[in-house]
A and B are shown apart, each in its own frame.
Chain A
Amino acid sequence: MNDFIKTLLSLSLSGSIIALISLSLKPILKYRIPKAIQYYIWIIILLRLLLPLSLPGSIMNAVFSEESFINSETNYTSISETTNIDTVDLPPVFNSPPNKNVYNTATSKNSLKFNYKYITLLWLIGFLATITINLFGYVRFIRYVNKTNLPAKSEEVDTLFKLSKKDWLKLYRNPFISTPMLIGIVKPRIIIPDIEFDKEQLTNILLHELTHLKRFDIVIKWFTMLTVAIHWFNPVVYLIRKEIDNTCELACDEAVIKNLSDKDKQSYGNTLIYVVSKYKEAPLGMLQAKMCEEKKTLKERLTSIMKYNKKPKIIILLSIVLLLSIVAGSLALGAFNGKSIMIP
């Protein structure tokens, strides 16, 4: 197998394993450990999928190098035709009669080499297609929004400045969007729907968006998009993206309400409900099933706000231990980086 595909598959596989483990722990941990830790776990998984970092002797290196070992060995036998293949320690699959095996592996290796070229090409097409679709949709959206933005009221701009202390951060109203949002990496700006907000609602909305800004959540979103593009063939990454998006919101809510009184928490959650209740006509062709899921997501956010409590030190400590073991597990699973043979 060529090294590039090996690295890609090993990243995809080890990322998916960690992701599935985390998903299976979710029902137990969801309300027990801080959302921030849950968010960091997903960021580690993202890094696992992106970076071919690995400890020497990692599992993925072993799995994927064994095969290269086999390939090079069989290749060698096909050239020399003298080595007895049975002396090489191989998995049972390869324990067919040596003569036949030598011939078969030699031809299949050639045809595989041929195939890998096409597999790499196919991957590249999927990768570029995903990137293009995302960027195209994004640019089109930003253009429409920029074209239709209206200036925010001056008291709204004042409220934002009091909260953020950043005079470069712009605030706009837009009649064509339904939810407040933070857009742009280079020049972030906050855009709110062109509907009535009282000061309390506006403060809640701005606190949420400012928290996204402070935590570089948009950068994470771009990295997530890149990860999905790289692993477009792996169904698990779409699940991962959904989890990251959800956890990102939950962690953001948590950071906002952390220091609020019960009354202010109530007001914060009410603002979320208010924004949804002010939504205009639902886009055509929306599926009922999807609708149910939308409700579930919001319900989970509200429940998390209700259930939020200051975590005891022991929980924080255990969460950090969990986080570190996921880091260690990720490194132990590793990725194929082509160095395993050199490292004794």
Chain B
Amino acid sequence: MNNPASKITSSELELMKVLWDADKELPISEIRKALEETTDWEISTIKTLLRRLCNKGIVKAIKREVFYYKALVSQQEYSEYSTQNLIDRLYSGSAKNLIASLISSKKLKPEDIKELQEMFKVGDKNE
């Protein structure tokens, strides 16, 4: 339920693409070289992004002579997640009007679910 792929922001996605394209762990110098073509990020920006990605468990830093960075979420996992999101967005739009579904509501907070579970008791009243 807590898909790490959901935590990737759009600038982090740029960086992830570099790691996915390389398909191996890369040192920061190579990441920077690849990103130079598409962005004008400073090395400090890239460091910050990498640190965040590591904290989120999306990228792993491997210490050799220098740090190497490895993608823990594959491009496929990410695209599956975005498709999930896409389908949900498609469904919440006009498609919803023409389909008979079990539940029309969206995700609820855990405390709301709990409240509904506690409320819903059939046959509690005297019959």
Contact = CB atoms under 8 A, between A and B. Distances in A.
Interface string A251-288: 01000000000110110011011011101111110100
A280 B3 contact: yes
B104 A245 contact: yes
A279 B88 CA distance: 10
A84 B3 CA distance: 80
Interface residues of B, number: 44
Contact of B1 (A141, A248, A280): A280
Interface stretch (A7-15, A101-109, A292-300): A292-300
Contacts, number: 170
Q: Which of A212, A213, A228 has the most CB of B within 10 A?
A: A212
Contacts of A137: 90, 93-95
Contacts of B91: 141, 177-178
Given A266-B121, A269-B122, A279 B101 contact: no
A242 to B, nearest CB: 10
Interface in A305-324: 305-306, 309
Interface string A126-159: 0000000110111011101100100000000000
B102 A183 contact: no
Most buried by B among A178, A245, A252, A298: A178
B6 to A, nearest CB: 5
Given A280-B3, A302-B119, A272 B102 contact: yes
B87 interface: yes
Interface in B74-97: 80-81, 83-95, 97
A68 interface: no
Contacts of A272: 102-103
9 contacts: A141-B90, A176-B88, A178-B106, A218-B98, A273-B120, A275-B102, A279-B108, A295-B108, A306-B121
Given A280-B3, A284-B85, A299-B119, 19 more contacts: A133-B94, A138-B97, A140-B90, A148-B83, A175-B80, A175-B84, A177-B91, A248-B100, A266-B122, A272-B102, A276-B105, A277-B113, A279-B107, A279-B108, A281-B3, A291-B106, A291-B108, A291-B109, A299-B116
